[in-house]
Chains A and B, each alone.
Chain A
Amino acid sequence: MNNWSWEYVRDILPDLLQGLWITVQATLYGSLVAFALGLVWALLLRSPSRWVTWPVSIVVEFVRNTPLLVQLFFLFFVLPGWGLTFPPLATGVIGLGLHYSTYTAEVYRAGIDGVPEGQWEAATALSLPRRRTWTSVILPQAFRRVVPALGNYVIAMFKDTPMLAAITVAEMLFRANSIGATTFDYMEPITVVGVLFVVISYPTSLALRALERRLVR
C-alpha cells in the first residue's frame, strides 16, 4: 500500500474541481427539470379523466421503478440509434431530471393534498377560476410544504451524479478514474472525490434543515 501524498493531491485538485463544477451543473439543471416535470406529472395525475391519469401513472411508475443507470444507458446508447443525439452532460441532465421527477411528483402530490379542504372551499365561495385557485392559493401553500422534501432529493441527486461517469460526462468520478488510470494510484483521487461530496452535501443538508424550521413557522 502506498502512502498518502499531499503533493499528488495538489496536482490533481484543479482537475477534480473542474469535475465538481460539472457535477454541480448536472445537479442544478437536473433539479430544475425534476421540479418542473414533477409538477407536470402531479397536476396531470389529478386530472378527472382516466385517459390522462392512466398513461401518466404508467410512465411515472415505469421510470420510478427502473434503475437510473439503465435509463442513462438507454438515453445515451439507444436514442442515438433513433436519430436523437445529445451531448453527454445534456443526456445526464435529462436522465437525472426525468428519474427524479417521478419522486418530486409524489412530493408535490403530498404537498397539494396537505392544503386544507377549507382553502378550496374559500376559493369556490369567492368564485375564483380554477386556474387562479391553483396559482394563487393552492400551489403557493403546497410549495412551502414541499421545499424540505425537494431539497432532500436535490442532495440525493447530487450523490447520484457519479453515475454520469458511465456515459462519459467528465464529472468528478470520471476524472478521478482517468487520473488513476494513468498514474495507477487511485487512493488520492477517489478519496478527494468523496471528501468533496461531503464538503458540499453536508452543509447543504444543514442549510436545508434551517430553512425547514423557518418555513414550518
Chain B
Amino acid sequence: MSDDSTPKKATVGTEEDGPELVRFDRVTKRFGTHTVLDSLEMTVYSGKHVTLIGPSGSGKTTILRLLMTLLKPDEGTIKVGDAYLTHEEKNGKLVPAGEKHCREVRKNIGMVFQQFNLFPNMKVLRNITEAPVHVLGLDKGAAEERARGLLDLVGLTQHIDKYPSQLSGGQQQRVAIARALAMRPQVLLLDEVTSALDPELVAGVLDVLRDIAHTTDITMLIVTHEMNFARDISDCVMMFDQGRVIEFGTPEKIFSEPENDRTREFLSAVL
C-alpha cells in the first residue's frame, strides 16, 4: 500500500529514451486559498505519452494550462527541455520571465482544447497556416503544403476551404489537432478533446490521435476519460487526487492492479 499523504515524484521514461523534456519542480498553484496543485514533481522524458486521470477538480487541466503558460505557478519551476518556462536565468538567479522568453519556450508546446477554439473568422487552411507563417516565419507556400499534409493525416482534405462553422464537432477537433501539429511542437497537450463531441464522432478523433501517437515521436500529455484509448497509447498513467500524483505506472499496472484505494474507486466508477 502506498502512503496517500506523501506526494509522489512522478518520472516517466529514463535517459535512454532521450532528453528530459518536461519537468515540474515542486510546482504549487493556488486559486485564492484553494491549493490546486501541491508541490508537484513530475518529469517526462522525450517521446513519452502520459495520461492524467483522476476525479474532476483534481488539477489535471491546471497542469496542462501551466505548461501552456495560460496560468502561472505560485511556487516552483517548470522546465521544457533546457529552458525554464516562466522564469529566466539572469546572473545565475531565477527571475520571472518576460513575455518574449515565454513565447519562445512555448513554441515547443501545442495544445488541443475541449472546445476546439478554432478561429471562426478563418477558413480551415488559414487556421492551420496562421501560426506557422506569423510565428515560425514560414512562407505561405511552405505553410500551405504543411497544412495540406496535416489535413490529409486527419482526413479532412476536402474541407480545406470551409469555415469551422460548416464542420461537425469531430471535424473541427481534427482541424484543431492539425493546427497544433503544424507548429511541430515537441509536446502536445490534449485536454479532454473528445468530451464536447457527440458520441458517434469520438472514435474518428481518437483514431487520428492513435495514429499520431504511433507514427510520430511527439511527447503527449493527455487528459481523457476514454480509458481504452489511454490504455492503447500511454506509456504511463498518472492518477491525481487533490493536486497530487497518488499513483502512476504503466496502463497495464494502473488499470489491472492499482495499488491505491482511491485509484481503484475512481476506476471502478469510470470503467
Contacts and interface: CB of A to CB of B under 8 A. Distances in A.
B135 A127 contact: yes
A52 to B, nearest CB: 18
A119 interface: yes
A141 B121 contact: yes
Q: Main SS of the interface on chain B?
A: loop
A191 B160 CA distance: 57
A141 B118 contact: no
Nearest to A137: B119
B69 interface: yes
Contacts of A128: 130-131, 134-135
A129 B103 contact: yes
Q: How large is the interface on B (under 10, 10 to 19, 20 to 34, 35 or more residues)?
A: 20 to 34
A116 B113 CA distance: 13
A128 B131 CA distance: 6
A120 B135 CA distance: 15
Interface stretch (B104-112, B207-215, B221-229, B253-261): B104-112
A125 B68 CA distance: 6
A140 B134 contact: no
Nearest to A141: B121
B103 A127 contact: yes
B117 A129 contact: no
B121 A122 contact: no
A125 B109 CA distance: 7
A136 B123 CA distance: 12
B117 A136 contact: no
A141 B113 CA distance: 19
Interface of A: 116, 118-119, 121-122, 124-130, 132, 136-137, 140-141, 144
